[in-house]
Amino acid sequence: MQTIIYILPELFLSLTIMFLLMAGVFIKKSFKLVNLCTIASLAFAIVLVLNQADEITKIFNDSYIIDRLSIYMKILTLLFCIFVLLSSKDYLKINKIDKMEYPIIVLASTLGMIIMISSYDLIVFYLGLELQSLCLYILASFKRNEDRSTEAGLKYFVLSALASGLLLYGCSLIYGFTGSTNFEIISNKLDPSNTGAVFGIVFIIVGLAFKISAVPFHMWTPDVYEGSPTSVTSFFALVPKIAALTVFIRFMYVPFVNVFNQWQTIVIFISIASMILGAVAAIGQNNIKRLMAYSSIGHMGYALAGLATGTNSGIQSTIIYLIIYLVMNLGAFGCIFMMKRENTFFENINDLSGLSKNHPILSLSFLIILFSLAGIPPLAGFFAKFYIFMSVIESGMYTLAIIGLVTTVVSAFYYLRIIKIIYFDKPKKPFEQSYDWGLKVSMILSSILILIYFMYPSILIDIVSSVVIY
Amino acid sequence: MEYGIVFLPLVASIVSGFFGKKIGVKSCQILTCSFVSISAILSLIIFYQVIVSGYTSNKLIFNWIGSGNFYVNWSISIDTLTSVMLVVVSLISSIIHFYSIGYMSHDPHKPRFMAYLSLFTFAMFTLITADNFLQLYFGWEGVGLCSYFLIGFWYKKPAANAAAIKAFIVNRVGDFGFAIGIFLIFLFYGTVNYNEVFQQTPQLVQKEVIFFGIEFSLITLICLLLFIGAMGKSAQILLHTWLPDAMEGPTPVSALIHAATMVTAGVFLVVKCSPLFEYSQTALNVVTTVGMLTAFFAATVALVQNDIKRIIAYSTCSQLGYMFFAAGVGAYNVAIFHLFTHAFFKALLFLGSGCVIHSFNEEQDVRFMGGVWKKLPYTYALMVIGTLALTGFPFLSGYYSKDAIIEFAYLRGSTFGYCAAAVGIFTALLTAVYSWRLIFKTFHGKYNNKDNNLSSIHESPLIMLLPSLLLAIGAIFTGILFKEMFIGNNSTQFWNNSILFLHIFQHGHPPTWLLILTPLLVIIAIPFSYYLFVKNEKILKNFILKNQLLYNFLLNKWYFDELYNFIFVRTFKKVGLFFWRKGDINTIDRYGPDGLSRIVKTISDKAVNFQSGYLYHYAFVMLIGFSILLTYLILY
C-alpha cells in the first residue's frame, strides 16, 4: 500500500476523470464547470507531482519509475495542458464544440501521457500510449459534423494503428530475445550482435518517431493539424510531444543503451530528414496550421539531433530545446487563435496581411515568436538551437551540424515571409479585439519569456542539467 | 581649453545633425555658430600664449590603440605650427558658419548643412592637433568624408554627386600612397608618434629599401609617399582634377574646405614632416617641381575659364603650388605664412563670388555678368580687396607672403631655386591677369544677363557681407602684422622647434630688381587687363581665333580629364562591367543565391505535391521508410 503514495497524481487524475464524467452527464450545460474543474485538477496534480520525493524510486516490480526526468516532464505536460485549455476556451465556444466531454478527454489523454513518462516497462508504456492515442483520435475528429475534422481523425486513427502495430511487434520481439519487459533487464540482456533484437529496436523507433512526427513517419501531421479544430491542433503540437520525446529519451538511454551504435545512425537519419523536410516543405504552404505542422516536424528534427549525440549534454540540450519549443508554439497558436472576425476563424497566411497597422501589439508578439522560431538572436529560439549545435559539434558530428545550420537558414525564409506579410503588405479588415484573458495571458507570457530568456539562461540550464539519465 | 576647441564643434555637429528637426533651424544655427566661435576665441587665446610665452602642450585624451608594441594615443598636441593652423581653421570656419546662415537661407536642409560644417571643423582639428600619423590619418579621412558630404550636399543635382564621387576617388589615390607611407614608417621606426619618428630619422638616413624593384633611400621613399597623399588633398597637378569639380558644392563650402583649410592640409603635412623632408633632397626637389608645375598650370587654365568659382578654384590650385615650392626650397615658414594669408583672401574671394552668385540668382558664368559694380558696391569693394591681396598688390597680405616665396626661392641659390623663382614671377603675372579678368568681366563692361533684369540685381544681406568684411580686414592686415613674426630674421624663435631647418637661410638681401619686379608686373597687369577685357575686346578675340589650338588646350584644362577618362575611367568601367555582368550576375548569382533558391523552391513544390492526402500513400511512405531503416541496419 505504501507504493500508492508514489502514484498519487495519476490516481487523483483518474478519479477526477470519472467524477467529472458523472458530474457532466447529470448537470446540463456543464462545459464551463467541467472545464474549470479540469484546469483546477491539473493544477492540483502539478502540486502533487512537485510534492514527490526527489529521489529515484521504482515501484510495482520496477515497472514504474519516478525520477527527475519524469517529474519535470510531468510538470511540463500538466502545465502546457492548462495553457492549451485556457487559450482555446473561446475557440471552442465560437465553434460550438464546447461539450463537456472535451476537457475530460483531454484530461484522460494527459493521464495516458503521464503514465508513458513514468513507464519503466514495455507493457506499462504501451498502456499509457494507447490511452493517450485513443483520446487523441477522438479529439482530432471532435468537430464531427465537419468533413475535414472527421477525415483528420480517421487518418490519424488508421496510421496510428499501423504505427502501434509496428511498435507492439517490436516490443514482442524484444521480449522474445531478452525474456523480459522490464527496461533494466532488457538493457542488460540486449545483445547488439543479435539481429532479431535489433529488428525489434527499429520497430520501436518507428512507433516512437510516428508519435513525434519525424520524417518519414510524419505523413499524418500536416493533414491532421489542418483538419482538426485549432484548439486540438495546438494540443497536438504541444502536449503529446513532451511525453513522446521523454519516452524516446528513456528508450534510447535505458533499454537500448548498449546498442547505441545501431540506433544512432537511425536517429541521425530521421533527424536530418526531418530538418530538411520541415524547412523545405513549409515554404509552399498557405495555411498557417499546415505551416506550423511542417515547422514542428523541423523542430523535432533538431531535438533528435541533440538526442543522437549519446551524451548527457546532448540530452539536456534536447530537453531545453523541447521546453523552448513548447513556449514558442504556445505563443504561435495564441496568435492563430486571435485571427478571428465575426465569429469566424481564419487560417490562411494571407489573412495576416498588414496586421501591424491594425494590431500593433499582436503583430509585435507574432514578430517575436516568429523570429524566435527562426532562431534569431537574442531570442530564446536561438539559444535552443545553439545548445543543440554545440553538443552536436562537441560529439564531432560536423555533417549533422552543418545540415542543421543550412536548414535553419532555409526555414528562416518562411518565418520571415510571414513577418513580411504582417508588416509590409496591404492591411485588411481588422480582427476582433475581444480576447479571452486566458489567451492573452498565455500569449503575453510566452512572448515575454522568449524575449527575456537571454538575460537569465542559467536558470533553465541549471534545472535541466540536474537531469542525468545514465 | 584644448578640449573645448576640439570637441565643441563635434558636440554642435551631433546635436544639430541628429536632433536638428527637434530643436529647430534657428537653434541649430545659433548652436553651431556659437560653439565654433567659442572654439575660435579659445584658439586665439592659445595663439596669444604661443606668441608671448612659447606655449606648448600635449594633452592625452585616451590610448586609442595598444597592440603588441604598437601604441597610438588620441591626443591634442599644441605647438607653434598647430596653433597657427588652429587659428586659421577656427577663424575662417566660424566666419563661414555665420555666412552660411545667409547663403543657405533658401535651402530646406539647413541643420544638416550646419552639422556637416561643424563636423568638418572637428575633423580638421583632430588632423592638426594629432601627435601621431594615425590620428592625422583619421582627421585626414574625416575631412575627406565631410568634403564628400558637402560637395554632394545638393544630392539631387547629378553633377554634384558626380563631383563628390570624383573628389572622393581621386583623394583615395593620394591617400593610398599616404597610407603606405605610414605603414613604412611603422615598419622601420616601430612607432607612428611624431616625436619618436623625428628623433630616429637622423640614424636612418643611410638606410636603403627596395620598392617595386627600385632601390630608394628609406627617407626619400617615405617622404614621396607622404607627399602623394599631400598632392591628393591639396590638388596638385596629376591629382588636381577633383578640385574644380568640387565647386558644385555650396559656395561657403568652397570657401572653407576647398580654399582655406582642407586643401592646405597637404602643405601642413609637408611642413609638419619637415624633420623627414629635410633629410631627403630628392623629395624636396620633387615637391618643388610639382609645386612649380601646379602653380603655372593652374594659372594658365584659370586665364580662360568662364565659371566664376572655377576660376577661383584654379587660382587656389595655383596658390597651393606656391606653398609647395616654398616648402620644397626649405622655406617652410614662408609656406605656412602664405597658407595663413591665403586663407583670408581666398575665403574672401569665394564669399564675394558667393554674394555675386546670390545676386545673380545662381548664375555662375562670368560671360553673363558685367556692369554691376554700381549695383553691388560692397560686394565689389570686397572682391577688389581680395583680388588685390591675391595678386600681391603692395602692402596687402599677398604681397608679403607671395613675394617672400619668390625671394626665398631665389635665395636658395640652387638651380631648382632659380627655376622656381622664375616660374613664380611669371605665374604672379598670370595670377594678376586672370584675377582682374574676373573682376572686369563680373563688374565692368556691359550687362550681359538675359535671365535677370538689371534692376532685380540686389546687394546681399548683411549676414553675408559682415563675415566677408572680417575676412577683408584679415586680407589687408595679416601680411603686414605677422610678417616679422612668421618669416622675419628671428622667426626661428617663434617657430620654437615645430619646424626643422637643417640649412638656415643666409638672410642676404635679394637684388633690388627682383624685389621691385613682381609688384611692378602686378601693377602693370591692372591697366593691361582693363584694356584687354573691357576697352578693346577685339584684340583678344583675334588672338583667340589665331591661336585656337592653344585656347582650346587651356579651356579644356590641358585635357587632363579627357586623358584620365580614357586611361582610367573607361578601363575600370569595362573591368567593372565584366565582373558585374559576367562574374556576379552570370556566375555567382546564377549558381549561388539564385540557383540555390530555385533548387529549394523546386524541392518545396515536390514536397508539397508529395503530400497527396491519400491514406494508402501515407501508410506506404511509412512502410518504405521503415524498410529503408531496417535494410540499412542489416547491411551495416
Other C-beta atoms closer than 10 Å to the C-beta of A419 total: 18
Asked if B622's CB is within 8 angstroms of A159's CB, the reply is yes
Dump pLDDT digits (tens) for B394-433: 888 888 888 888 888 888 878 888 888 899 999 999 999 9
Distance of CA B202 to the CA centre of its chain: 31
- Chain A residue numbers touching B630 (CB-CB < 8 A): 199, 202
Confidence band for B266, pLDDT divided at 50, 70 and 90: very high
Say what the pLDDT of residue A436 is. Answer: 80
> Residue B535: what pLDDT?
80
Mean pLDDT value of segment B515-520: 86
Residues A275, A407 contacting (CB under 8 angstroms)? yes
- Residues A417, A423: Cα–Cα separation, whole Å: 10
- HEC secondary structure over B273-297: CHHHHCCCHHHHHHHHHHHHHHHHH
Q: Residue A46: which of A85, A83, A72 has the closest Cα?
A: A72
pLDDT of residue B505: 62
Q: Predicted ipTM?
A: 0.87
pLDDT of residue B149: 92
A467 φ, ψ (degrees, to nearest 5): -85, 115
Hey, what amino acid is at A463?
Answer: I
Residues of B in contact with A266 (CB under 8 A): 629, 632-633
Question: A143 is written with which cell numbers?
Answer: 468537430
- Mean pLDDT (whole number) for A292-303: 93
Interchain proximity A262–B613, CB inside 8 Å: no
CB contact under 8 A, A223 and B605: no
CA distance B103 to B521: 36
Using DSSP, state whether B105 is helix, strand or coil.
coil
Q: What is the DSSP letter of A396?
A: T
pLDDT of residue B11: 92
What are the phi and psi torsion angles at A287 (to 5°)? -90, 130
Q: Helix H segments across A61-214?
A: 68-94, 101-118, 122-140, 147-178, 183-189, 195-211
* CA-based nearest distance B622→chain A, Å: 5
Assigned domain for A171 exists: yes
Tell me the pLDDT tens digit for each residue of B133-174. Answer: 999 999 999 999 999 999 999 988 899 999 999 999 999 999
- Whether residue A435 is contained in a domain is answered as yes
Give the residue among B253, B31, B264, B259 at the shortest CA–CA distance from B120: B253
Q: How distant is the Cα of A46 from the closest Cα of chain B, in angstroms?
A: 37
What residues make up the domain containing A423? Answer: 2-465
Band of residue B454 on the pLDDT scale cut at 50, 70, 90: confident
Grid coordinates representing A334 are 495564441
Contacting residues for A127 by C-beta, under 8 A, at least 6 apart: A115, A119
CA distance A390 to B236: 58
Whether residue A39 is predicted with pLDDT greater than 60 in this model: the reply is yes
Share of residues in chain B with pLDDT > 90 (%): 38
Say what the pLDDT of residue B269 is: 93
Please indicate whether residue A83 or residue B541 has the higher confidence score (pLDDT): A83
C-beta of residue B350 within 8 angstroms of C-beta of residue B259: yes
pLDDT recorded at residue B113: 92
Closest residue in B to A217 (Cα–Cα) = B622
* Average pLDDT in chain A: 90
Range with the largest mean pLDDT of A323-327, A435-439, B597-601: A323-327
Give mean pLDDT, residues A90-106.
Answer: 89
pLDDT for position B554: 84
Name, of A308-312, A324-328, B195-199, the range with top average pLDDT: A324-328
- pLDDT in the model for residue B506: 59
Residue B508 has pLDDT above 70, yes or no: no
| pLDDT tens digits along A394-407 | 998 999 999 999 99
Which of B599, B617, B626 is best to mutate for the A interface (most A CBs within 10 A)? Answer: B626
Does the beta-carbon distance from B615 to A163 stay under 8 Å?
A: no
Higher pLDDT, A192 or A121: A121
Other Cβ atoms closer than 10 A to A341:
13
A-B contacts at Cβ under 8 angstroms: 75
Question: A370 or B412, which is more confident?
Answer: A370
Question: For residue A158, what pLDDT is reported?
Answer: 93
pLDDT on residue B105: 85
Domain assignment of residue A436, yes or no: yes
Question: What is residue B58's predicted lDDT score, i.e. its pLDDT?
Answer: 87
pLDDT tier at B22, thresholds 50, 70, 90 = confident
Contacts of A94 (CB under 8 A, 6+ apart): A340, A343, A345
- Give the pLDDT band of residue B507 (cuts 50, 70, 90): low
**Is A219 close to B618, i.e. CB distance below 8 A?**
yes
Q: Which residues pair with A287 in a beta bridge?
A: A348
**B473-490: average pLDDT:** 86
Which position has the higher pLDDT, A453 or B510?
Answer: A453
Domains: count for chain A: 1
> Rounded distance, CA B186 to CA A422, Å?
55
What whole-number distance in Å separates Cα of residue B127 and Cα of residue B261? 11
| Residue A224 included in any domain | yes
How does the average pLDDT of chain B come out, rounded? Answer: 88
- Alpha helix segments (H runs only) across A179-311: 183-189, 195-211, 220-227, 230-253, 260-281, 288-307
- Residue B504's pLDDT band (cuts 50, 70, 90): low
Residue A86 located in a structural domain = yes
Answer whether residue A470 is part of any domain. Answer: no
